[in-house]
Structure 1
Amino acid sequence: MAARPRVDGADEFTVGTAHHRALDDGRIECTVCPRACRLRDGQRGLCFVRARAGDQIVLTSYGRSSGFCVDPIEKKPLNHFLPGTPVLSFGTAGCNLGCRFCQNWDISKSREIDTLASAAGPETLAAEAKRLGCKSIAFTYNDPTIFLEYAADCADAARAAGLKAVAVSAGYINAEPRAELYAHMDAANIDLKAFTEDFYKKIAFASLGTVLETLEYLVHETEVWTEITTLLIPGHNDSDAEIAAECAWIAEHLGPDVPLHFTAFHPDFKMRDVPPTPPATLRRARARALAEGLRYVYTGNVHDTANQTTYCPGCGEALVIRDWYRIDRYALSNSGQCSFCGVNIPGVYEGKAGDWGPRRQPIRLTASSHK
């Protein structure tokens, strides 16, 4: 793992980054995402964790986290990646989007450095994940796009320890840093927030086109196992027409085997006046996706075993029966074939399913190692 350059006079958690360019007016432009924040000395970008220091952009959150937790991999959500196994999950602070409905707003919208109370360098983190019996490390809670240098180094340390690396992201990232980040990842869940530019512009303060480019890149140009999540928000992105358009695009541009998760919204952040998503909306969306030819479609954030189960597209048998994050039946071979007819179920499988279940185990790390 290449050492990250430190910034003179900064604290131990500040790392210089390569993703910026100088402008004629004296400002420096961050080139990590399409937001292209143009900063004068001492200013921070919208994401809060990338800032200008002298003649460069720096990552101020390297080695620091808002918390660590061992989760089920299905919580990311990833249903076709090391099923039933525990994953060491963490995030930092800030975000490069402005979603009014953010479900993790206390982390992603944080502007307080005290949020980053936990500390761990990449090797420390990987060693702890290994000790806890995790099979992977996930960069989640907020978007690894904005802390890509730290995420990449942690992913390399994880792989060196025999673990895999997972990115949970909105996919709002420029082409060059996107290739850099995902070269270190084994799996990703991309949050496809809606399927209209109007929603992205007015509610997420981003753009749909960039996210679609990220999805096509991951599926067609990398070996990263990719799943998609759409949080259905009543009255905003849950119409039959929009759901049909999204599913038709996925089938045409990504193929029928990319798993899609429709998850339930709960009132939060700046959309507390919007009601929770009815389970019937999730079931309706799933039925529409299946009608468009998608093979692996799931509901989430609800108890709904029938619609959270993986069915064989060959014989129709229920292969992985789930109740939220708990697996009640597992009928796949060690390499992911249907136990009844032998059809291959796309995904990443390493032997039998794990038995972690729905447990959530917070972890406190204080050791810092930045190698």
Structure 2
Amino acid sequence: MQGDEFKPVPTRYWHRVERDKIQCDVCPRFCKLSEGQRGLCFVRGRENDQIMLYTYGRSSGFCVDPIEKKPLNHFLPGTPVLSFGTAGCNLSCKFCQNWDMSKSREMDTLADSASPQDLVEACQRLDCRSIAFTYNDPVIFLEYAIDVADACREQDINAVAVTAGYICPEPRIEFYRHMDAANVDLKAFTERFYKKICGGELAPVLDTLKYLRHETDVWFEITNLLIPGENDSDAELEQMSQWIHENLGPDVPLHFSAFHPDWKMMDTPPTPPATLTRAREIARKAGLHYVYTGNVHDRTGSSTWCTGCGELLIERDWYQLGAWGLDAEGRCAHCSTPLPGRFEARPGTWGAQRLPVRLHPRQAGTPRQRR
């Protein structure tokens, strides 16, 4: 894909406002743009009196991952997923692990081309059961993500959105109509954190979570990255867990993940494993059934346990699956309690490996290593 295929493409969600501005309506930032100006995400901008997307068909790299790395623990366990992203982001998280891409202002760094059909063929060649829009938020390349998801669905390949959920109601309906699964990054449970650390708001993310739970069939899980001294207090964890239980129900999986210093938060210490264990205990006490720890070695906290009889259902050691306690219908083999999620008779066998790939072997350079 070269030349004309790298040209910007028109988008749908915008309207004209005062003083000859055009407002982008994809996310709650509502960027008001003059001709030639880009939004905060940098990949949507005003050109020829409309909002254009500048990263359609362009990627920052590709990697085959275990689906558990997204993280999704209740969606086709053990299967491989083709992960890819573009550039830009509509939040400004000071701890971003992929800041070199999410904050990129250099479109030329997106040297890898990837048409929807290219990605379908890659998934088929690599035996991937799913494709994940990740590394940066797919909300900002919504039109591209939807076209890829549709092309994949025609070949029985699942579409997975790894997202912060920072999206407006109208595009949210269209976006999730094309997704099969999602992991939503609930970054904290205070407006202070979202404003100070992420440059956004909490309320739209909560709206997205409620929308997913009550108005879609998308399987989704939640990730909360715990940052020492910022969003890891008992009070905040209790409030968040209670809100999830009351608004989403007890069966939505919640992942507590360990922070590691990066980008603008290099002076903040890593999350102690004990913090994740404490958070898991708080969430389980609040009534949540499936609470996990991530970015640390914790077999108990990363495995799935039956809520009926307490037996081990899915053993995980990092991203490697071990004992399997589900029957062919996705129920506990000991007491027949159903496990919410999307399961098959047997788990996949991909294991913990990560495989950087290039869609077009003739392209120069080496695959980017993404987290």
TM-score range, shorter chain: over 0.9
Shift, 1:334, TM fit: 2.7
Equivalent in 253, 260, 264 of residue 266 of structure 1: 260
Identify the residue that residue 295 of structure 1 maps to in structure 2: 289
Contact persistence 2:138–2:162 (CA under 8 A): yes
| Large movers: runs of 4+ above 2 Å | 9-13
Amino acid corresponding to residue 121 of structure 1 in structure 2: S
Shift of 1:355: 1.1
What secondary structure, in the 3-state scheme, does the structure 2 residue paired with 1:351 have? coil
Contact 2:327 2:333 in 1 (8 A): yes
* CA drift at 1:12: 3.2
Instruction: Tell me what 1:6 maps to.
Output: none
- Residue in 1 aligned with 2:364? none
Residue of structure 1 in register with 2:224 after alignment: 230
The one-character-per-residue Cα deviations of 1:153-201 (angstroms, maximum 9, x if unpaired) are 1000111011110000000000011111100000000000000000001
State how far apart, in whole Å, the 2-side matches of 1:117 and 1:351 are.
Answer: 40
Contact 1:13 1:63 in 2 (8 A): no
Partner of 2:344: 350
Q: Which residue of 1 aligns with 2:209?
A: 215
Provide the residue aligned with 2:247 in structure 1: 253
SS state at 1:347 partner: coil
Structure 2 Cα separation of the partners of residues 306 and 342 of structure 1: 21
Amino acid at match of 1:81: F
Structure 2 unaligned spans of 5+: 362-371
| Aligned counterpart in structure 1 of residue 273 of structure 2, from 279, 298, 303 | 279
Aligned AA (1:133): D
Using the alignment, how far apart are the partners of 1:230 and 1:66 within structure 2? 25
Aligned partner of residue 6 in structure 2, secondary structure: coil
Alignment partner, residue 79 of structure 1: 73
CA distance in 1, matches of 2:111, 2:68: 26
Shift of 1:347: 0.1
1:48 to 34, 42, 46: 42
Which residue of 11, 15, 18 corresponds with 2:12? 18
- Give SS of 1:100's match: coil
In the TM superposition, residue 107 of structure 1 has moved relative to its aligned partner by 1.3
Q: Give runs of aligned pairs for residues 95-134 of structure 1, distance below 5 A.
A: 95-134=89-128
User: What's the C-alpha RMSD, in Å, of the aligned pairs?
Assistant: 1.3
C-alpha deviation, 1:11, in angstroms: 6.0
**Alpha-carbon shift at residue 245 of structure 1 (Å):** 0.4
Determine the C-alpha separation between the residues in 1 that align with 2:316 and 2:357.
26
Q: How does 1:172-183 map to 2 (within 5 A)?
A: 172-183=166-177
**Matches of 1:316 and 1:13 in 2, distance apart?**
55
Instruction: Provide the residue aligned with 2:21 in structure 1.
Output: 27
Instruction: Find the aligned partners of 2:268 and 2:133 in 1 and give their Cα distance.
Output: 28
Which residue of structure 2 aligns with residue 4 of structure 1?
none
Aligned to 1:5: none
How far off is 1:208 after superposition? 0.4
Residue identity in the other structure for 2:319: Y
For residues 311 and 342 of structure 2, the distance between their equivalents in structure 1, rounded to whole angstroms, comes to: 20
Identity of matched residues, %: 64
Q: Shift of the alpha carbon at 1:324?
A: 1.4
Question: In 2, Cα distance between the equivalents of 1:79 and 1:284?
Answer: 20
Aligned residue pairs: how many?
A: 360
Cα shift at 1:130: 1.4
Contact 2:6 2:55 in 1 (8 A): no
Name the counterpart of 1:69.
63
Match of 1:205 in 2: 199
Task: Give 2:49's aligned amino acid.
Answer: D
- 1:321 matched to 2:312? The reply is no
Of residues 18-27 and 202-211 in structure 1, the stretch that sits farther from structure 2 once superposed is 18-27
The answer as to whether partners of 2:6 and 2:58 remain within 8 angstroms in 1 is: no
1:194 matched to 2:203:
no
Structure 2 counterpart SS, 1:357: coil
Letter in 1 for 2:330: G
Structure 1 unaligned regions, length at least 5: 1-8
